[in-house]
């Protein structure tokens, strides 16, 4: 059967029945706090930042099979892919609220990528790597190799805007799902 948005909406409403919205709501509040912090300070790191960094570094390792350029670009790709895979996986399990939260997680990655890209010309942030002392600034390398180094701030802004969009999707879909959970509880009473 082909996927349709009306079928997804129906599945979300059906799966909202019998679920408690009250313990889920604080997650949305926490992501609101995280969004505000990222907007006020592009270099902000949240509790997910260590996980994001680990995924980023693992991406270097996985993509190293395809040469240096892909090893460096693949780390950022992996940082975006893993939260999107979480969205897919949670939807497959009909855990739509967790899928919505995964967009918040994606947003934290996009904000951190934005900060990294913005540093490509200056190269002032402290870099870490489990692979030794000869650390390459990923985005300085990528943008230099592609001849796009002068567009670092534009690309950074693009990642930042995508981060905002992903977080807004997290909020809007999360609130919509919680509203259906709350309505199902009222019907039950």
Exposed/middle/buried for 151, CB within 10 Å: 0-12, 13-18, 19+? middle
Closest CA to 11 of 97, 85, 74: 97
Which range has the worst mean pLDDT, 36-50, 102-116, 123-137?
Answer: 123-137
153-172 residue pLDDT tens: 999 999 999 999 999 999 99
Average pLDDT over residues 94-121: 97
∠ CA(171), CA(175), CA(181), 5° rounding?
Answer: 150
- What is the spatial distance between Cα 139 and Cα 119, in angstroms, rounded to a whole number? 8
Average pLDDT over residues 122-131: 84
1-24 residue pLDDT tens: 556 888 888 888 888 888 889 999
177-189 residue pLDDT tens: 999 999 866 655 4
Average pLDDT over residues 15-42: 93
- What is the spatial distance between Cα 132 and Cα 13, in angstroms, rounded to a whole number? 50
pTM for the predicted model, two decimal places: 0.92
Do residues 128 and 135 lie in contact, with contact meaning Cβ atoms separated by under 8 Å?
A: yes
């Amino acid at each position: 059967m082909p996927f349709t948005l009306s079928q997804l909406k129906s599945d979300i409403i059906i799966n909202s029945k019998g679920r408690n919205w009250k313990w889920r709501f604080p997650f949305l509040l926490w992501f609101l706090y995280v969004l505000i912090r990222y907007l006020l300070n592009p270099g902000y790191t949240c509790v997910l930042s260590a996980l994001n960094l680990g995924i980023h570094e693992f991406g270097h390792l996985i993509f190293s099979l395809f040469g240096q350029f892909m090893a460096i670009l693949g780390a950022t790709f992996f940082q975006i892919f893993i939260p999107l895979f979480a969205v897919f996986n949670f939807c497959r399990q009909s855990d739509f609220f967790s899928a919505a939260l995964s967009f918040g997680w994606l947003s934290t990655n996009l904000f951190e990528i934005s900060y990294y890209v913005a540093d490509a010309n200056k190269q002032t942030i402290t870099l870490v790597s489990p692979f030794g002392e000869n650390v390459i600034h990923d985005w300085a390398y990528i943008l230099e190799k592609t001849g796009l180094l002068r567009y670092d701030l534009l690309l950074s802004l693009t990642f930042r805007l995508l981060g905002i969009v992903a977080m807004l999707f997290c909020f809007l879909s999360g609130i919509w799902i919680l509203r259906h959970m709350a309505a199902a509880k009222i019907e039950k009473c």
